Amino acid sequence: MTPKQRMLNAYRGVPSDRLPVAPELWYYYPARLLGVDMIEFERRVPFHQALKKAFRHFNCEGWGVAFAGPPNDRVSGESSERRVDADTLEVRQVTHTPHGDLTSAQRYHREEPSWSVERPIKDLKRDLPAWELAALGGEPEAMDVSGLIRAWNEVGESYLLEAWLGVPFFDYLAGAMQGGLEQGIYTFLEPEMAPKLVELQARYTEYLVRMARTICDKTPLESLCIGCSWSCNSLIGPDLWRRWDKPVIRAVAGEIHRHGKLLHIHFHGKCLETVADFAEIGVDCVCPFERPPGGDIVGLEGLKAVERLLAGRTTMNGNVHTVETLIRGTPDDVRREVREIREAFRGNPRVIIGTGDQVGRETPEENLRAMIEAGR
């Protein structure tokens, strides 16, 4: 079987010739293998091709995403660049809309993935109309999906390439607000904001459903992905997640499943309180089910609890510890955690042996190879 077939079978709950082993090789390791710094990697290297090289290097399974977005002729913009220092590049963006201009800035560093230093919404009352138009004013049905199809063909059977849909509702709004997570929490807990948030949530849900429908109708990609920045129990808690993000994910899952396609959710940090929700929604795969201190899935018993709560309806991708085990541990430490995953899901095909988020650049290659060999 091919790596892609093993991943798809796991998403569908179908047994394969062996369990898929899919370390999350996102930015650090592909850039290391290509011999490029992070600025060049993020701005110049086709992401899907970098992942293909990394997964082939380790001869393992994996997943990645490709991006597309709808045209929006009601906004325009320009960007400028400046060097902060020898290692850091800042890119500033000005977006022009009929409701006013939005400004933002992103910094790129030779050693680290980029981060926001200025977000477009400074004053919610003033800037939200412009942000809504900029972020949701395009027509998903007019989206050019040729890039997705080309990437899917270039990846072939080497790993599972998914279409990136975006982020949950909390991240959509808070991610655009100056102050980020903290300002987002204040906003979502403000009673006077509730009517506007309900209205915006409905619009965002409709937008993502239309995006999903277009991708499902016009591309051969088998799976779609919703990521997260702060939309998780560790940061916003299960109550805010259930009120604002779960209904959006449920609607998108329904549309994707109507087309016979699959949905993958990335959910950082603690997750035990919402594992049953994943199964209830019918999400096909969730990752990364982290171990402490970042997550709350502790050892064999924790994994057995996850297996019970997922109820055979959702696939777990995880949960080898990326720091304590893969970076700081030994090959024997890695093999021990892989054995726990295999034991907890014995006889259950809905498991992918993965990592508790992205593999760090400091990870010894022998530890990654131990994980892959033990998984097999």
- Spatial contact of 25 and 54, defined as CB atoms under 8 Å apart: yes
- Tens-place pLDDT, residues 6-47: 999 999 999 999 999 999 999 999 999 999 999 999 999 999
Residue ranges of alpha helices (H) inside 83-236 are 124-136, 146-155, 169-174, 180-189, 194-218
- Tens-place pLDDT, residues 104-137: 999 999 999 999 999 999 999 999 999 999 999 9
Strand ranges across the sheet with 63-66: 21-22, 351-355, 315-320, 285-288, 262-267, 223-226, 160-166, 63-66
Tokens of 188: 């979502």
Which of the four pLDDT bands, split at 50, 70 and 90, describes residue 91? very high
Report the share of the chain in percent with pLDDT over 90. Answer: 100
CA distances from 120 to 7, 93, 142, 178, 231 (A): 38, 9, 25, 7, 19
- Tens-place pLDDT, residues 286-306: 999 999 999 999 999 999 999
When the pLDDT of each residue in the chain is averaged and rounded to a whole number, the result is 97
- Spatial contact of 211 and 224, defined as CB atoms under 8 Å apart: no
Look at residue 289 in the predicted model and tell me its pLDDT: 97
Is there a cis peptide before residue 59, judged by omega within 30 degrees of 0? no
User: Where are the extended beta strands (E) located within the chain?
Assistant: 21-22, 63-66, 76-85, 88-97, 100-109, 115-118, 160-166, 223-226, 262-267, 285-288, 315-320, 351-355
- CB-based contacts of 339, cutoff 8 Å, min separation 6: 374
In this structure, is the dihedral angle defined by the CA atoms of residues 324, 370, 225 and 47, taken in order, positive or negative? positive
- Tens-place pLDDT, residues 202-236: 999 999 999 999 999 999 999 999 999 999 999 99
Please give the domain boundaries of the chain with CATH numbers for all domains: 3-71+138-375 (3.20.20.210)
- Tens-place pLDDT, residues 320-329: 999 999 999 9
- CB-based contacts of 229, cutoff 8 Å, min separation 6: 167, 171, 175, 181
Look at residue 274 in the predicted model and tell me its pLDDT: 97
Which of the four pLDDT bands, split at 50, 70 and 90, describes residue 358? very high
Tokens of 55: 């997964």
Q: At what angle do helices 331-344 and 365-375 cross, to 10 degrees?
A: 30
Is there a cis peptide before residue 288, judged by omega within 30 degrees of 0? yes
- Spatial contact of 338 and 372, defined as CB atoms under 8 Å apart: no
Q: pTM of the entire structure? A: 0.96
C-alpha–C-alpha distance, residues 325 and 4, integer Å: 26
- Spatial contact of 235 and 259, defined as CB atoms under 8 Å apart: no
C-alpha–C-alpha distance, residues 286 and 314, integer Å: 7
* Tokens 């509730």, located at residue: 194
Tallying the residues shown for the chain, one arrives at: 376
- Tens-place pLDDT, residues 142-168: 999 999 999 999 999 999 999 999 999
